[in-house]
């Protein structure tokens, strides 16, 4: 008889849900018992209302969601493909200082999809509900953790004790698991906030993601299915706080100036919310019997919409490492096993984190505007470089 390995997944954001779904539907599903703890209740997607939180998901993320069996639900409900992308900085020389990407140039139908947070979590939860070896414990969070030589025990918010051979921490940027285990991090606050809102514009978005780099921070317009765009506008925290207090009319005026009226002007704005921005990287992604995934391990600037995509790649890798260990009859919670996951993901995530951090600083740095304009124009003229960048962003570079 096979001895079942039990895995505790802490956190039911999209990354934790994806880990549980991959484990529960993979080759070793029968050899695993998965328990997922999440303090929030089941999200309910509203077909009449586009969630304010949306993500630009890459092709690699789409494939993972297809593998899990969740993409079908998402694409039937509502997704917005983006087929082109324009990145620009205000240029003193007309026609220069922009970079245009088109999915047709690499023979792909699109560059990715804009997906709503609530819909993504609902689709993943629907899959989990039908997987017999996954137990969902919603409304419950982890309070304490104790790591032993053969197992890991957690105490939930209601005093219940659960144990497993392995724990995967997907409990987000302020990870309680990471803190309780004393796993140190490096990073800093950007003293920036991102304002997020949906806006109606006079011109069509043409299924294009628009991104302007301003000295105060990047501003993006992501296309939505109802013709509006989701704005993600990063700026100093002080500026964001004052903009959030202003009337819709004043906010729209400032947004039109910041976007150079790229979509013919803005004529409506939804509710506005803001997110504090910081960069963080955990020095270790694992310790005996525990692995960190998603924002629990790394936080990046949202300027290229990569945080969730990176978390999904973590999910695929940790499950791959666990399944390979089971194939060899090894203990999946052993530190030597978990180090393989760390080796395969930490360097990749660090590269992305540094690139995004560098871009954010580069475009905010005063005095080198001409250099930036020239840089964007040179890349724009170099088709092979552009194609390589697009393949990288789609997760097709391997």
Ligand X SMILES: Cc1cc2nc3c(=O)[nH]c(=O)nc-3n(C[C@H](O)[C@H](O)[C@H](O)COP(=O)(O)OP(=O)(O)OC[C@H]3O[C@@H](n4cnc5c(N)ncnc54)[C@H](O)[C@@H]3O)c2cc1C
Which residues are near ligand X by CB under 6 A? 10-16, 37-40, 55-56, 141-142, 170-172, 176, 194, 196, 232, 275, 294-295, 302, 305-309, 311
Q: Which of 139, 132, 161, 123 is nearest to 8 (CA)?
A: 161
For the chain, where are the alpha helices, taking DSSP H only?
A: 14-25, 59-68, 71-77, 117-129, 176-180, 237-245, 248-258, 307-327, 335-364, 369-381, 383-394
Q: Which is nearer to ligand X, 180 or 374 (CB)?
A: 180
Q: How far is the CB of 319 from ligand X (least distance, A)?
A: 15
CA 15 to CA 314: how far, in whole Å? 8
Q: Which is nearer to ligand X, 58 or 326 (CB)?
A: 58
Q: Which is nearer to ligand X, 86 or 96 (CB)?
A: 86
Extended beta strands in 251-354, E state: 266-269, 273-282, 286-287, 290-292, 298-299
Q: Which is nearer to ligand X, 37 or 65 (CB)?
A: 37
CB-closest chain residue to ligand X: 13
Q: Which is nearer to ligand X, 14 or 380 (CB)?
A: 14
Q: How far is the CB of 91 from ligand X (least distance, A)?
A: 26
Query: Who contacts 162 (Cβ-Cβ below 8 Å, separation ≥6)?
Result: 8, 35, 37, 153, 154, 156
CA 233 to CA 274: how far, in whole Å? 9
Pair of tokens at residue 217:
């921070």
User: Tokens 């003293």 — which residue?
Assistant: 191
Q: How far is the CB of 330 from ligand X (least distance, A)?
A: 27
Q: How far is the CB of 257 from ligand X (least distance, A)?
A: 21
Q: How far is the CB of 101 from ligand X (least distance, A)?
A: 16
Q: Which is nearer to ligand X, 39 or 288 (CB)?
A: 39
CA 333 to CA 356: how far, in whole Å? 32
């Amino acid at each position: 008889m096979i001895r079942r390995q039990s895995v505790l997944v802490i956190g039911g954001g999209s990354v934790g849900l994806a880990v549980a779904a991959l484990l529960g539907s993979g080759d070793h599903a029968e050899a695993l018992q998965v328990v997922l703890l999440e303090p929030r209740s089941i999200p309910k997607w509203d077909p009449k209302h586009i969630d304010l939180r949306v993500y630009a998901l890459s092709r690699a993320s789409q494939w993972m969601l297809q593998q899990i069996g969740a993409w079908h639900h998402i694409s039937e409900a509502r997704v917005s493909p983006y087929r082109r992308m324009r990145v620009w900085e205000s240029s003193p020389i007309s026609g220069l200082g922009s970079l245009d990407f088109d999915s047709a140039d690499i023979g792909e139908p699109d560059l990715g999809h804009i997906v709503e947070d609530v819909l993504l979590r609902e689709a993943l939860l629907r899959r989990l509900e039908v997987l017999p070896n996954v137990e969902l414990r919603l409304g419950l969070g982890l309070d304490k953790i104790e790591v032993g030589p053969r197992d890991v025990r957690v105490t939930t918010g209601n005093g219940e004790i659960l144990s497993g051979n392995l724990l995967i921490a997907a409990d987000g940027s302020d990870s309680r698991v990471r803190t309780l285990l004393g796993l140190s991090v490096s990073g800093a606050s950007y003293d920036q906030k991102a304002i997020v809102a949906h806006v109606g514009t006079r011109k069509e978005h043409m299924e294009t993601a628009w991104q302007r780099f301003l000295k105060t921070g990047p501003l993006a317009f992501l296309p939505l299915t109802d013709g509006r765009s989701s704005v993600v506008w990063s700026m100093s925290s002080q500026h964001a706080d004052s903009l959030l207090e202003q009337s819709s009319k004043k906010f729209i005026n400032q947004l039109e100036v910041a976007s150079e009226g790229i979509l013919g002007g803005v004529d409506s704005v939804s509710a506005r919310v803001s997110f504090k921005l910081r960069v963080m990287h955990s020095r270790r992604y694992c310790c005996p019997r525990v692995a960190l995934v998603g924002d629990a391990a790394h936080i990046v600037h949202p300027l290229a919409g990569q945080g969730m995509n990176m978390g999904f790649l973590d999910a695929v890798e940790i499950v791959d490492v666990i399944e390979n260990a089971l194939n060899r009859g090894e203990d999946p919670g052993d530190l030597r096993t978990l180090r393989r996951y760390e080796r395969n993901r930490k360097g990749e995530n660090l590269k992305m984190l540094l690139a995004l951090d560098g871009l954010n600083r580069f475009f905010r740095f005063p005095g080198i505007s001409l250099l930036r304009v020239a840089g964007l124009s040179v890349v724009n003229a170099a088709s092979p470089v552009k194609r390589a960048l697009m393949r990288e962003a789609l997760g097709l570079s391997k």
